[in-house]
Amino acid sequence: MEQPTFKLVTIEDYDRIKSLWHRAGLQSRLKGRDSFVMMQQQMEANPDLFIGAFSDDRMIGFVIGSFDGRLKGWINRLSVDPEYRRLGIAQELIARVEEALEKRGITLFCALIESSNIESLNLFRKIGYVPHDDILYVSRRKSQDI
Ligand SMILES: CC(C)(COP(=O)(O)OP(=O)(O)OC[C@H]1O[C@@H](n2cnc3c(N)ncnc32)[C@H](O)[C@@H]1OP(=O)(O)O)[C@@H](O)C(=O)NCCC(=O)NCCS
């Protein structure tokens, strides 16, 4: 296999992103924060936080970085095409998005992982993220689409 290339993606890649999420089995909120309009706004605000991995012209990996007002960085929507897994693509995407977040002064990186997602848990553990078994994620949704 050719070495994957990594580059910023734009809203022009929206259909390819959706297709990758589908292939990767990642749940997305296409009527909410993953909609075309919302993604376009997010990309315009922080274009360097949307990074794709490509084999030729095929998108085989993707990640979104985000941050909150207290300088905590988040790794979101990480996905790798099933045909290209265990090649270090996710690790490279995370490294690149962490670097972009660090340029904003962010040095604390976090991710939300479903407890049954062993692949992702192993991945984050491998690169130094520490699970917090004593913390429960709670949320209140004004809409199921968000
Ligand atoms: C999780 C995911 C992004 C990993 O992508 P990837 O490119 O295959 O990951 P990497 O090759 O960088 O893997 C690095 C490490 O992750 C762990 N890992 C990845 N896949 C694994 C698997 N199937 N079983 C066990 N550990 C696994 C291993 O520690 C691996 O290191 P190793 O290959 O040296 O053993 C990919 O499986 C995926 O897209 N899953 C579906 C979407 C998803 O769950 N996203 C994360 C949401 S939090």
Residue spans of the domains in the chain: they are 5-126
Give, using CA atoms, the residue closest to atom 8 of ligand 1.
Answer: 85
**Whole-number pLDDT of residue 144:** 81
User: What confidence tens digit (pLDDT) does each residue in 41-65 have?
Assistant: 999 999 999 999 999 999 999 999 9
CATH of domain 5-126: 3.40.630.30
Alpha carbons 146 and 131: distance in angstroms, whole number: 25
In the chain, what is the straight-line distance between the N-terminal and C-terminal CA atoms, in Å? 38
Answering whether pTM is above 0.85, one says yes
Instruction: Compute the mean pLDDT over every residue in the chain, rounded to the nearest whole number.
Output: 95
Element (H or E) spanning 112, and its range?
Answer: none
User: What confidence tens digit (pLDDT) does each residue in 74-126 have?
Assistant: 999 999 999 999 999 999 999 999 999 999 999 999 999 999 999 999 999 99
The Å distance, Cα 143 to ligand 1 centre, comes to 31
Alpha carbons 1 and 18: distance in angstroms, whole number: 23
The response to whether residue 40 sits with its C-beta less than 6 Å from ligand 1 reads: no
Alpha carbons 74 and 77: distance in angstroms, whole number: 10
